Amino acid sequence: MKYSQTLILGSKLCLICAAAALCLGLLNEVTEPQILARKAQEEEDALAWLIPDGRPGDKVAVAGDAAVRAYYPVSVAGSSDRYILDLLGVGYGGDMKILAAYEPDGTLLGAALLDNQETPGLGKRAETPAYMDMFVGSGSADAPVPVSKEMLQGGGGAAGGPGSAGAQRRGRFRFFPQGAAEGGTDAVSGATVTFLGVSRALAAGAEYVRCERGGS
């Protein structure tokens, strides 16, 4: 009798699990195209926002680089001498997708954090334009990207960059001014792993542009 009851119970649990798996599979089939479309739109909006007066060319994949996954050559006034990089950063919640625009000498023009699983209220602050302001203007050989709190002492990014307080929302992409408290050393407190993930990816992007694309 006990064996029969155990078998019945086990069968019921198997049916429940199978039904749950089927429902999750159907849900994924329905939502995945929408998620992919949303991500594609966010990337398109970010590309238009990072260099408003430029025209990004076709995406070029990069192999063998831990941080740089691809780049877009950007034409400004007929001259293709700027780049938007698709960067991979590693934060507290795992992989982070970052788009960053650079001058040929590696100077950062602006950056945007896209896909990420960072902690709301802490690491998520990296999604705001003011957070990225502390990196804007750095990246050249003479002005390295700040990758520590000590390097941030005494100033953030260049005023008036894409992530400045005057930034506006473009399409569905979230560029909301959050005030100076979102950037600088205050942004590092409580979210050091996120900061390191973002800063190291931006620094790797600057080096890639200087060494691999600056002379092309």
Q: Please say whether the dihedral angle defined by the alpha carbons of residues 160, 181, 138 and 80, taken in this order, is positive or negative.
A: negative
Residue 31: the pLDDT is: 66
Largest CA distance in the chain: 83
What residues contact residue 54 under an 8 Å CB cut-off, 6+ apart? 74, 75, 76, 82
Residue 43: the pLDDT is: 84
Q: For residues 107 and 207, is the Cβ–Cβ distance under 8 A?
A: no
Residue 153: the pLDDT is: 67
Task: Return the HEC string of the chain.
Answer: CHHHHHHHHHHHHHHHHHHHHHHHHHHHHHHHHHHHHHHHHHHHHHHHHHCCCEEECCCEECCCCCCEEEEEEEEECCEEEEEEEEEEEEECCEEEEEEEEECCCCCEEEEEECCCCCCCCCHHHHHCHHHHHCCCCCCECCECCCCCHHHHCCCCCCCCCCCCCCCCCECCECCCCCCHHHCCHHHHCCCHHHHHHHHHHHHHHHHHHHHHHCCC
Model confidence, pTM = 0.72
Residue 170: the pLDDT is: 36
Ordered by start, the domain boundaries in the chain are 46-213
Digitized pLDDT (tens) for each residue of the chain, 216 residues in all: 556 777 777 777 888 888 888 877 777 776 666 666 777 788 888 888 898 888 899 999 999 999 999 999 998 877 778 999 999 999 988 999 999 999 999 999 999 999 888 888 777 888 887 888 889 999 999 999 999 878 876 544 443 344 333 333 333 333 333 333 345 555 666 678 899 999 999 999 999 999 988 655
Residue 154: the pLDDT is: 53
